[in-house]
Structure 1
Amino acid sequence: MAWRDGRASGKRLLLFMASIVLGIAAVVAIQSFSENLKDNIGLQSKALMGADYLIDTNQPPNEKVLAIIDSLGGADGRAVSFASMALFPKNGNTKLVSVKGIEGGYPFYGELETVPKNAARSYQELNGALVDATLMLQFGIQKGDSIKLGKSVFPVMGKLLSAPGSNGIMASVAPLVVVPYKSIKATELIQTGSRVGYDFYFVAKPNQDLEALNTKVDPLLDAENADLDTHTSTGQRLGRRYENFGKFLNLVAFIALLLGCVGIASSVHIYIKEKLLSVAVLKCLGATRKQTFLIYLIQIAGMGFLGGLMGTLAGLLLQQSFPLFLQDFLPFEVQITISPQPIVIGMLLGVLMSVLFALLPLLRTWYVSPLQVLRIQENGSLNSKKADILVMFGIMTFILGFSFWLLQNWKYALSFVLGILVVFSVLGGLATIFMKMVKKYFPSSWGFTARQSLLNLFRPNNQTMVLILAIGVGTFLISTLYFSKDILLAKTSLEATAQTPNLILLDVQTEQKQDVAHSITKSGLPLINNIPIITMRVQNLKGRPVNDIRLDSTFTINRWILNHEFRVTYRDSLVASETTDTGVWPAKINEAGIIPISISDNIARDAEVGIGDRIQFNVQGVLMQTEVAHIRSVDWGRMQINFSILFPSGVLENAPQFHVLTTNAPDEKTSAKLQRTLVKQFPTVSVLDLRQVITLVEDILDKISWVINFMAFFSILTGIIVLIGSVRTSKYQRIKESVLLRTLGGRSKQILQITALEYLYLGILGSGIGIILSLVSSQLLAMFVFKTAFMPSLVPFLVVLPGITGLVLLIGLLNSRSVIQSPPLEVLRKEAGGG
């Protein structure tokens, strides 16, 4: 019976099925790609590091670190890395690059991919350089040309295509240049304040337990401001970094699936309503409740199975495109394979979600009375409230459980479900209020077509609720994502004023400060900032030595506070990105000579300190006792130099320090000219062009927003499928209305106008509510997450609102065309024949 009845209603069931195909396709595609990514990271973790494990430190290794390295058999390879300006004598161009000096056989896994291939081996013997291929193309550099780093000139041995751990995003800011380790000292680029990384690479011994090694050695290295990383732990960190982005995309895809399920619930509601008479007849012939219920349950489950199968196949095809637009974010090439887990998930989701969301309307078949054959009523069967509550509880439990499976965090899963409930409730509530308001304040004085279009919004079998939900949630997603992108770009953009720095000069030594400043002003540019920076570490925190705290397992202080080398400055005022939380700045030095300091709120939180607490710093060998006198919030997202710790003036002026100078270049030509001048005169000074960084941020946000909007598009597309399915399902109801209207003298043009106005109302209402909800959510994001002002863009109002409204109108008219074109006599014959 399920097969026979389903075959007669095949077209309708196909449209029901299409409601969930897109959502499942999105979930399967992302799940499958995430599994592939995890497998690739696991397989390539050694190639990503280039070794089995490494010891790294951002200062020259002391005797204890060297002793630990020797106890492990000595390093098989080592490297030193830092940022510096490079000069190409061929054309005078300059560029901030990432310099890496290598010694030994590194990389031991993977390879330095170069053109020509032998350059990866010959550069060490010939004291040459491997230069990033894109950088060489940008500046027209060929093999045999030279590159100047500091006071040394290296011949370019070849193009560097890839290296362990490198990716396209980092190469955009500071492309990689590889030179021999032994040649670094001659460049004289490592100066006071230089950010330098020292890496010692190891190849594991046969059957060596890297996890046990990490557990034993890493705490010893932490005490010496060094660290041990294994290839497995590095791979896990890398995996978590991309896993969070994947989880977010999964939620977007899951929302598309939920929309499809809402469409199923609505479509099945109308479909079952038309089948109630058949159910009553079957019961008159002796069919049991269970039999009649199972007939339609099997139909829906079969539809879900086919939908899951089709969605799974579509998702596996869709994931093939992911590496094309995510490759720049990945330090390796992803090999796509078919993983069984997403396939099983897709199939199960298709059946479970279809059945769960169809249960409420399906329960009506259980409570249909055989007398329904004789006594036709609009509300002929009423469900048991207890059964309805159980079904709703099952749906919410499943959504919460699936959300937890995606996020692996009950707090986030519950927040997501509550957020979905709020959005759906607001949309559903407003739709209900809208229908009641139209009914209560019906404009009787309007023309016939306008009145009839409004009547359709609250007539039996109306589509108002489901379409507003589908259109509203899809619009809400796309608009929120667009507004969020605007917030992020606004935080990174530079104000177009001559006093806003867009060039930052790093690692300026004290003896160079005056000459560098003179070079800037001589070029006709303003010297905006001259910021002194002193490096220091925490020696004693609230009366306890740092080493004691490290060994105390009961302490909850964040470990980075204990190991970090802080870069601090001194001044008696706050800047635009800082606001006072508690305390007063500048503070006065107390009688005991304890130095007052200002710390950022994140330092106060992670170090668990407040006003009046003492912190002792080791300022390059000199111990300095300080007291927290001021706590401030810092907007780290602003493109300017910010500090977590401030000292008052008159304390650190004679401490070993370096400087950061800033200026504003009005255009790229002026910026390039100044950079060439500075690199020639001061090769150890690095110049960061903020415009390049902002361009990079914009490119990253564009790529991420493209991916997110692509997934959000599934929600809109699902809404469209729901729309088509709802129109098709209520087709016969429309035909009856058409016959009545035509019998009463209505023309096709009038019926077309009625349909057009109805879908125009639905499109405007659904997309309008979605955009308003996105404004509210974006304001909350700006206040509590990004902590910045929110200036909404007009694009969602000018593009999304009319675009989606027009789409809804077009699809509504196309799907109603057959209703309008059906001759009344043909319809009457079909009705008489039971068709």
Structure 2
Amino acid sequence: MAWRDAKASKVRLILFMSSIILGISAVVSIQLFSTNLKDNIQRQSKSLMGADFIIDSKQIPSERAQTIIDSLQPDAYEVNFVSMITFPKSGGTKLVKVRGLEGEFPFYGEIETEPTVAADTYQESGGALVDATLLLQFNAKPGDSIKIGKLTLPISGALKAIPGSTAISTSVAPLVVIPYRFIATTELLQFGSRKEYQYFYKASDTLNMTNLESKIGPQLDFEDADLDTHTSTTKRLGRRYDNLGKFLNLAAFIALLLGCIGIASSVHIYIKEKLSAIAVLKCMGASRLQSFLIFIIQIAGIGILGGLIGSLIGAALQEIFPYLLKDFLPFTIEMNLSAQPIFMGVFLGLFMAVLFALLSLLHTWYVSPLEVLRVDEQAVKEPVGIRILVFSIILIFLFLFSFWLLRDALYALFFVGATLLTFALLTGVALIFIKTIKRFFPKRWSFPLRQSLLNLFRPNNQTVVLVVAIGLGTFLISTLYFTKDILLAKTEVGQGTENANIIVLDVQPAQVDAVAHNIKSKGLPILNNIPLVTMRMHSIKGQPVNVLRQDSTRHVRGWILNHEFRTTYRDSLVSSEKLDKGKWTPRIASGDPVLISISDNIAADANITVGDAVVFNVQGVLMETTVGSIRKVDWTQIQLNFSIVFPVGVLEQAPQFNVFTTKAPDEASSAAFQRDLVAEFPNVSIIDLRQVFTVVEDILDKVSWVINFMAFFSILTGIIVLTGSVRTSKYQRIKESVLLRTLGAKNAQILKISAFEYVFLGLLGSLVGILLALVSSLCLAVFVFKEPFAPSAIPFLVFLPGITLLVLAIGLSSIQTVLRSSPLEVLRRER
């Protein structure tokens, strides 16, 4: 019986299934991708690093650290640093990361170059491998030359990829690889230079990395060096991409929820139309269980088949994700098919289809033949206790599935709560809109407009479901655009005269006056001349750092104990700082206690507060200080911010270097200034904040593509729900059309009525979604980012009319059947 009835309603049931297929395909594709991502990280862990383990140090290794490094016999080593390079042919300059390599690195994976032979010959030929994008930017090619400090080298090849780097990491500072033996010739490794020494090892398969970390790691930490193994890097990468997978899974889960809500609404109308058939069956002796099973078998079949088709589509869709995320992945993913997500998709399709259709299916159990034969227009109500039980099961399932995705009960609870709140707000707005129309009905409007509004709350209307489906998809995409504008606003380089857009780093003490003169000679202002002093913490609250490193019960974060702090001294706060605790000390006299100001993150991670003692090692000299104040620092502002600030009168005689900031009016003057300054002072590094802003915008655009891809599932699900709604309520519309034509309405008027109804639905759904996104983004701007909110116009100019027109097109696509139906045909059916 279930099969026979399904064949008669196959078009309608296929639309039900489409909602399930779309949601399942989203979940399964992401599950498969996440599984493949973890497997690839495991398989390619050595290729990601290019070695079995690495020892690195931010300074020349101490004697003890060098002894440990040498005892393990490194197979290759490098020093890397950030510097400006010049292309003599064009005169262009660029901030890059220079890697001076010695040895046969990498041991796993390979350096990809064009021509391919360059990766093998650059060491012997004494050439440089230059980032391929950088060569295109400056119109250079292999055979040309680059200048790094005092050194000029030929370009051996274009560098496409090297283990340990990603497209995102090289966006700000592209890579240049040169032989290690030329590093000294550059004369760039001076006091204050940001450099890193790395030693690469190829180990035997029998070496236990965990034992190596536990034995050597603490000794190197004691000497301000670090040990990274391919296994620890794998775990770190796995955690990083696991968070991405969780986000994408939740986005797909929302699309699946939308589809299930569409099923619940469509099944409600479908079952309501079947009540007369169920009454006849019961009159012929069918039991409650039999009539209930007929339709639950249909829905279960839809769930299983939809889950299977969705899983197969998801398996194909997973191939898209490596292209969407290629700029965020440091390796090429090899995609394989695993059975677990496929089985999960089929089970999910079955369970969610039945679960969300259960309330409507219960009508078949509780309806009596007499009630249906009397053609009671009121829906049959099942007991309140049963409804509460079904709702409880749905909520428990949502929580458990979210917990399975997130592996955190609190986050799962927050996600379910936020999802319910969003659905409730969308539902509430739709209901308020309907009640408002009823109360303040525009009686003076034209007949088609008035009738289209009446259709929004006619029997079997799906206004609430469509507003939720359309609104949620619009909400997701609009929130993305609004939030992206907030993030860009926080990184945007201002146009006022007080905002710097060029930072000049690594200016040595002997060069300060000459660099200042060079800046002024170009007609540019010196906005800041900031001294920098490097130091490390020697003891915290009387406990030596070396002792704290060995204390597993300490309340101090590990990075505090190993970090080399770049500090400054000044007599006032800057715009990105706000005093939180204590009293700001602008300057001190000789012999007075040294009262420093620290940022709130340092206070939390070092477990110190106002009045606590901290001893610093300033280039071999111990300096006793006391925390005098704690500042809140807005690190998102692109300017020079400091964790530790000394008062004037303490560090003036300490070894230091300077940072200048200035403002160039346009890109041409900025490029000319950089070219001339690097030619005169090869050791300085220049950051053009315009380029940084461009990189940030590019990264956010790439993230936008990923989120848009997931929001697309929600929008598409909403479209399917809308199409199902139109098909499901078509007979209801045919009856309305007959009545209207009997009263004298023409086809053109009926067409206008339907068109206006779908315009109202599209406008209401998309407008509610955009307004909710506006409110949520405003809250993010005020409470999270603490930034003025200037919303993007794209959602209002593109999404609002675009989605409205889409809803109108889908709604009118099946109106021809309504218009062609004759009154006699319908009246005969009613008999």
Q: Normalised by the size of structure 1, how large is the TM-score?
A: 0.96
The 3 A distance-change label for structure 1 pair 116 and 806 is: closer
Structure 1 residue 481: deviation in Å?
Answer: 0.7
The answer to whether the Cα contact below 8 Å between 1:147 and 1:153 also exists between their aligned partners in 2 is yes
Structure-2 residue corresponding to 1:17: 17
Report matched runs for 1:265-664 at 5 Å: 265-379=264-378, 381-586=380-585, 589=588, 593-664=592-663
Structure 1 residue 594: deviation in Å?
Answer: 2.4
3-state SS of paired residue (1:320) = coil
Structure-1 residue corresponding to 2:824: 825
The answer to whether the Cα contact below 8 Å between 1:26 and 1:253 also exists between their aligned partners in 2 is yes
Report matched runs for 1:661-676 at 5 Å: 661-676=660-675
Structure 1 residue 200: deviation in Å?
Answer: 0.9
The 3 A distance-change label for structure 1 pair 20 and 403 is: same
Structure 1 residue 199: deviation in Å?
Answer: 0.8
Structure 1 residue 16: deviation in Å?
Answer: 0.8
Structure 1 residue 589: deviation in Å?
Answer: 4.8
3-state SS of paired residue (2:418) = helix
Report matched runs for 1:739-758 at 5 Å: 739-758=738-757
The answer to whether the Cα contact below 8 Å between 2:587 and 2:648 also exists between their aligned partners in 1 is no
Structure 1 residue 453: deviation in Å?
Answer: 2.1
3-state SS of paired residue (2:296) = helix
3-state SS of paired residue (2:168) = helix
CA distance, structure 2, for counterparts of residue 206 and residue 810 of structure 1? 63
CA distance, structure 2, for counterparts of residue 250 and residue 124 of structure 1? 46
3-state SS of paired residue (1:458) = coil
The 3 A distance-change label for structure 1 pair 815 and 615 is: farther
Structure 1 residue 434: deviation in Å?
Answer: 2.2
Residues 646-655 or 753-762, more deviating: 753-762
Residues 582-591 or 626-635, more deviating: 582-591
CA distance, structure 1, for counterparts of residue 816 and residue 634 of structure 2? 56
**Aligned pair 1:68/2:30, yes or no?**
no
Structure-2 residue corresponding to 1:140: 139
> How far does the alpha carbon of each residue in 1:394-416 deviate from its partner, in whole angstroms, 9 at most, with x for none?
11111112222222222222111
Q: 1:4 is matched by which residue type in structure 2? A: R
The answer to whether the Cα contact below 8 Å between 1:618 and 1:624 also exists between their aligned partners in 2 is yes
> How far does the alpha carbon of each residue in 1:195-244 deviate from its partner, in whole angstroms, 9 at most, with x for none?
11111111122311112211222122222211111112112222322332
Residues 445-454 or 93-102, more deviating: 445-454
Residues 243-252 or 707-716, more deviating: 243-252
Q: Name stretches of at least 5 consecutive residues in structure 2 with no aligned partner.
A: none
CA distance, structure 1, for counterparts of residue 156 and residue 804 of structure 2? 59
Structure-2 residue corresponding to 1:221: 220
Report matched runs for 1:193-272 at 5 Å: 193-272=192-271
The 3 A distance-change label for structure 1 pair 819 and 112 is: same
Residues 773-782 or 578-587, more deviating: 578-587
Structure 1 residue 373: deviation in Å?
Answer: 4.5
Residues 132-141 or 473-482, more deviating: 132-141
The answer to whether the Cα contact below 8 Å between 1:316 and 1:338 also exists between their aligned partners in 2 is yes
**Aligned pair 1:726/2:725, yes or no?**
yes
The answer to whether the Cα contact below 8 Å between 1:369 and 1:381 also exists between their aligned partners in 2 is no
CA distance, structure 1, for counterparts of residue 10 and residue 829 of structure 2? 18
**Aligned pair 1:8/2:3, yes or no?**
no
Structure 1 residue 179: deviation in Å?
Answer: 1.3
Q: 2:70 is matched by which residue type in structure 1? A: D
Q: 2:56 is matched by which residue type in structure 1? A: D
Report matched runs for 1:93-108 at 5 Å: 93-108=92-107
CA distance, structure 2, for counterparts of residue 136 and residue 49 of structure 1? 25
Structure-1 residue corresponding to 2:43: 43
Structure 1 residue 296: deviation in Å?
Answer: 0.7
Structure 1 residue 105: deviation in Å?
Answer: 1.7
The answer to whether the Cα contact below 8 Å between 1:724 and 1:815 also exists between their aligned partners in 2 is no
3-state SS of paired residue (2:86) = strand
CA distance, structure 2, for counterparts of residue 560 and residue 41 of structure 1? 25
Structure 1 residue 298: deviation in Å?
Answer: 1.0
Residues 78-87 or 24-33, more deviating: 24-33
The answer to whether the Cα contact below 8 Å between 1:28 and 1:342 also exists between their aligned partners in 2 is yes
Residues 522-531 or 142-151, more deviating: 142-151
The 3 A distance-change label for structure 1 pair 151 and 444 is: closer
Q: 1:17 is matched by which residue type in structure 2? A: M
Residues 132-141 or 732-741, more deviating: 132-141
Structure 1 residue 380: deviation in Å?
Answer: 5.4
3-state SS of paired residue (2:325) = helix
Residues 411-420 or 234-243, more deviating: 234-243
CA distance, structure 1, for counterparts of residue 542 and residue 508 of structure 2? 34
Structure-1 residue corresponding to 2:815: 816
The answer to whether the Cα contact below 8 Å between 1:587 and 1:596 also exists between their aligned partners in 2 is no
Structure 1 residue 639: deviation in Å?
Answer: 1.5
Structure-1 residue corresponding to 2:87: 88
The answer to whether the Cα contact below 8 Å between 1:277 and 1:372 also exists between their aligned partners in 2 is no
Structure 1 residue 444: deviation in Å?
Answer: 4.1
3-state SS of paired residue (1:178) = strand
Q: 2:562 is matched by which residue type in structure 1? A: N
Q: 1:666 is matched by which residue type in structure 2? A: P
Q: 1:584 is matched by which residue type in structure 2? A: K
The 3 A distance-change label for structure 1 pair 123 and 451 is: closer
3-state SS of paired residue (1:168) = coil
Residues 300-309 or 748-757, more deviating: 748-757
CA distance, structure 1, for counterparts of residue 605 and residue 789 of structure 2? 28
> How far does the alpha carbon of each residue in 1:629-653 deviate from its partner, in whole angstroms, 9 at most, with x for none?
2222211111111111111111111
The answer to whether the Cα contact below 8 Å between 2:588 and 2:650 also exists between their aligned partners in 1 is no
> How far does the alpha carbon of each residue in 1:674-729 deviate from its partner, in whole angstroms, 9 at most, with x for none?
22212221111111111111111111111111221121122111111101101111
The 3 A distance-change label for structure 1 pair 590 and 275 is: farther
> How far does the alpha carbon of each residue in 1:409-434 deviate from its partner, in whole angstroms, 9 at most, with x for none?
22222111111111111111222222
Q: 1:358 is matched by which residue type in structure 2? A: A
Report matched runs for 1:765-784 at 5 Å: 765-784=764-783
CA distance, structure 1, for counterparts of residue 450 and residue 151 of structure 2? 84
Structure-1 residue corresponding to 2:28: 28
Structure-2 residue corresponding to 1:58: 58
Q: CA RMSD in A?
A: 1.8
3-state SS of paired residue (1:59) = coil
Structure-2 residue corresponding to 1:155: 154
Structure 1 residue 368: deviation in Å?
Answer: 1.4
Provide the aligned length of Structure 1 versus Structure 2: 831
Q: 2:386 is matched by which residue type in structure 1? A: A
CA distance, structure 2, for counterparts of residue 794 and residue 125 of structure 1? 56
CA distance, structure 2, for counterparts of residue 132 and residue 768 of structure 1? 46
Structure-2 residue corresponding to 1:703: 702
3-state SS of paired residue (2:696) = helix
Q: 1:648 is matched by which residue type in structure 2? A: P
Residues 195-204 or 109-118, more deviating: 109-118
Q: 2:3 is matched by which residue type in structure 1? A: W
The answer to whether the Cα contact below 8 Å between 2:451 and 2:753 also exists between their aligned partners in 1 is yes
The answer to whether the Cα contact below 8 Å between 1:635 and 1:787 also exists between their aligned partners in 2 is no
The answer to whether the Cα contact below 8 Å between 2:570 and 2:646 also exists between their aligned partners in 1 is yes
Q: 2:674 is matched by which residue type in structure 1? A: Q
The answer to whether the Cα contact below 8 Å between 2:586 and 2:648 also exists between their aligned partners in 1 is no
Residues 344-353 or 561-570, more deviating: 344-353
The answer to whether the Cα contact below 8 Å between 1:435 and 1:457 also exists between their aligned partners in 2 is yes
CA distance, structure 2, for counterparts of residue 614 and residue 340 of structure 1? 59
